[in-house]
Amino acid sequence: MKNLLMATASIAMLGMAVPAAAEHHKKDGMEMADASLHAILAHERRAKDKARDVYRHPSETLKFFGVKPTYTVAEYAPGGGWYTKVLAPYLAEKGQYIGVNYNVDPLPFPEDRKVEMAKWSATFPAKIAEMTGLSADKFKALRTNEVTDEMAGTVDFIFIPRMMHNLMRWNATDNEIKALRKLLKEDGTIGIVQHRAKDDAPFGYANGGRGYLRTDTVVNIMETHGFELVKQSEINANPADTANYPKGVWTLPPRFAEGDVDKAKYAAI
């Protein structure tokens, strides 16, 4: 059984027992890792990204997930690289960062988008190098349809930040999670951050099309694929978010799907 950590404004994580004799080594290592992570978060390359730290809590989130600088970590659908700028340098010296993107071939995307995505695995390491100032050869990238048997069972942790709703609305959840599961070590963990719908939200609202998913929906999907929910966290919970907007989560910043209508109200949320 593989492990699921959830951040549906909650998060889930694997707990590990450490022998008492090794506790001081663990403490020293964690302190060094924490210092490294804090230095990365404070770096000037994140000047524009830092404004969202107060909402996304990257330090607390990664600590909850138990990400270590020695891990092989795959970030799913890195997009613009908000978390990539943190994870890639954090793992560059002792671990391995892998960007993993979805298989666009069966998705209802324009052909020109599919052509561009076909190049992604070859071009993303260079993009990481631009983001971090590190050598591109330190990083790897692939799409889920490029996962080979040789790669199976090589990844300690897979991070899926705010992406499960897209897989649901694209009807791509099954194939994508299967590919990600193949990458994981047998005791590996997937950590999910996801906009959370209310527990009683109707499926017509919480089906991914508005960006929100119910926690039980995500857990059930992952259990179907052989994962066990280890724990959750409220680190990223926002009590002010009522999660019931006609245009979904994109009503809120930074998208403001309603334009200037009630913009101040949504900004406050």
Structural domains in the chain, CATH included, are 2-237 (3.40.50.150), 242-269 (no CATH)
CA angle 107, 249, 164 (to 5 degrees): 40
pLDDT digit string, tens, across residues 121-157: 999 999 999 999 999 999 999 999 999 999 999 999 9
Q: Is the peptide bond prior to 254 cis by the omega test (within 30 degrees of 0)? A: yes
Give the model's confidence band at 30: pLDDT under 50 very low, under 70 low, under 90 confident, else very high.
Answer: low
Residue 9 has pLDDT above 50, yes or no: no
The reported pLDDT for the residue numbered 23 is 44
Question: What distance in Å separates the CA atoms of residue 229 and residue 4, rounded to the nearest whole number?
Answer: 5
pLDDT of residue 202: 97
Mean residue pLDDT of the chain comes to 90
262: Cα separation from own chain's centroid: 30
> Do 168 and 208 touch, CB atoms closer than 8 A?
yes
Average pLDDT over residues 3-16: 49
Q: What is the rounded distance in angstroms from the CA atom of residue 181 to the CA atom of residue 160?
A: 12
Which own/partner contact pairs does 21-30 have at CB distance under 8 Å and 24+ positions apart?
none
Considering the entire predicted model, what is its pTM? 0.90
* Helix, strand or coil, per DSSP, at residue 120: helix
- The CA distance from 216 to 8, in Å, is 10
Confidence of residue 34 (pLDDT cuts 50, 70, 90): confident
pLDDT of residue 3: 79
- Span 82-103, average pLDDT: 98
pLDDT average, residue stretch 38-58: 95
Rounded distance, CA 67 to CA 33, Å? 10
**Candidate from 2-11, 105-114, 157-166, 228-237 with smallest mean pLDDT:** 2-11
Of 197, 201, 174, 192, nearest to 230 by C-alpha is 192
Contact 226, 1 (CB under 8 A): yes
